[in-house]
């Protein structure tokens, strides 16, 4: 797959809904119910982070069993992470930052990558390598909507998915910016609701998130 085709695939995932749930899952048996609730609520792109031993099994289950889900893998740090995500059935990968080794591996891999940037220099370096879609992380600690909004004029080619400290309350501040395509957030799948399999509550959170309004995009 060409780099441009991979960028288009990432864009398709990010434009499915205003929010990409960022999921930390401890029990893979909860994955299918959770993903079905998110899809039913109108949030089909799901990032399952590689922060627990259950993550890849959760991705396999979602990819195999949940119609309409567009599952990706987050916290991708190495070439092995990319390959494991791809084998598990992920449609995209997300990294908190970028390193030369990871970017080199992504160049040679079929799985599309959404790399992270926290500064304008990092964003420019990723753009030089063809990444028009990037994760802004950690969004709130790094400077929030004021910082990323300031990049819109000098870096109009780049569109961001801010993640890190995003909530239902502050998501509109990011989504109102012309260079933000969506936001990533963990508030849709809190640990308590996952532990109790409260799929109705997760679906309700997803519906609320799906109704957030984007700014007109260029």
Note if 11 is an active site residue. Answer: no
b or e along 40-51 (b: 16 or more beta carbons within 10 Å of the residue's beta carbon)? bbbbbbbbbbbe
Is 47 among the residues known to form the active site?
A: yes
Beta-bridged to residue 161, according to DSSP, are 135
Residue with tokens 């993550």: 55
Find the catalytic residue in 6, 47, 91, 203: 47
Candidate list 6, 91, 135, 203, residue with the active-site label: 135
Q: What are phi and psi of 78, to 5 degrees?
A: -140, 170
Token reading at 182: 């969506």
3-class DSSP state for residue 42?
coil
72 DSSP 8-state letter:
E
Question: Which residue, 128, 194, 175, 200, is CA-closest to 14?
Answer: 175
Q: Which two tokens stand for residue 30?
A: 């909860």
Backbone CA torsion sign across 139, 142, 143, 149: negative
Catalytic residues: 47, 135
């Amino acid at each position: 797959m060409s780099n441009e085709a991979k960028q288009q695939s990432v864009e398709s995932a990010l434009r499915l809904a205003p929010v990409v749930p960022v999921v930390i899952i401890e029990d893979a048996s909860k994955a299918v119910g959770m993903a079905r609730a998110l899809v039913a609520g109108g949030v089909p792109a799901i990032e399952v982070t590689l922060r627990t031993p259950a993550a890849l099994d959760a991705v396999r289950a979602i990819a195999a069993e949940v119609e309409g889900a567009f599952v990706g893998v987050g916290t991708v740090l190495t070439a092995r992470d990319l390959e494991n995500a791809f084998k598990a059935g992920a449609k995209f990968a997300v990294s908190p930052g970028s390193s030369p080794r990871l970017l080199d591996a992504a160049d040679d891999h079929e799985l599309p990558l959404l790399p992270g940037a926290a500064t304008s220099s990092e964003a420019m370096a990723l753009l030089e390598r063809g990444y028009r879609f990037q994760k802004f992380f950690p969004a709130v600690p790094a400077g929030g909507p004021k910082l990323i909004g300031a990049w819109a004029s000098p870096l109009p080619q780049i569109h961001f998915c801010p993640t890190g400290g995003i909530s239902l309350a502050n998501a509109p501040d990011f989504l109102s910016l012309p260079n933000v395509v969506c936001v990533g957030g963990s508030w849709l799948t809190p640990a308590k609701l996952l532990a109790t399999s409260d799929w109705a509550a997760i679906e309700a959170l997803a519906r609320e998130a799906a109704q957030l309004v984007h700014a007109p995009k260029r």
